[in-house]
Amino acid sequence: MPTPQELTESFWSALKSDMTVMLGLAGVENAHTRPMAAQLDGEHSPIWFFTSRDASLVNNVAQSSKAFATFASKDHDLFACLHGTLVVDNDHAMIDKLWNRYIAAWYEQGKDDPKLVLLRFDAQEAEIWQDASSMVAGLKMLLGAGDPKQDYKDSTAKVSLS
């Protein structure tokens, strides 16, 4: 079974590949999570998001910087819930570093577009789950071997990301 360190490494690898999280603010009335394209600078926190000045996340971040994100890998073999803080951080050096053609397609005036906002999510902790319902787990069930509750328990970890 994977160690917490292996689950953490699998999470960063899957996020780098799949890039989409549901991001939201804690404690903000009527706030909903939004699908956001995650940008990474390496394989660790912070996680960066390009968005628009008129986005509800930007408007509400002043009310609460406590944020959370949920993640499901495309093949649904890894899931995570992250907690941390979200702030506006229009660091021009980071905008330059993360800029790509997919981001550019949304901003008519490029990196200097007045509606461009860069959000920084400082993920502090996470709970990560690896799908324990593999073919091996299924075979074990058919043969009456193994304990599915134990297999699941060994495939989850609460980890610090800071």
pLDDT per position as a tens digit, 24-76 = 999 888 778 999 999 999 889 999 999 999 998 998 987 779 999 999 999 99
pLDDT tens-place string over residues 65-115 = 999 999 999 999 999 999 999 999 999 999 999 999 999 999 999 999 999
What is the extent of the structural domain holding 129? Answer: 4-160
What's the pTM? Answer: 0.85
Q: How far is CA 93 from CA 97, 112, 124, 147, 149, in A?
A: 6, 13, 23, 51, 47
Does the pLDDT of residue 142 top 80, yes or no?
A: no
3-state helix, strand, coil in the chain (%, to 5): 30, 35, 35
Domain containing 71 — which CATH number?
Answer: 2.30.110.10
The tally of domains found in the chain comes to: 1
| Ordered DSSP codes for 82-102 | EEEEEEE---HHHHHHH--HH
More confident residue, 161 or 46: 46
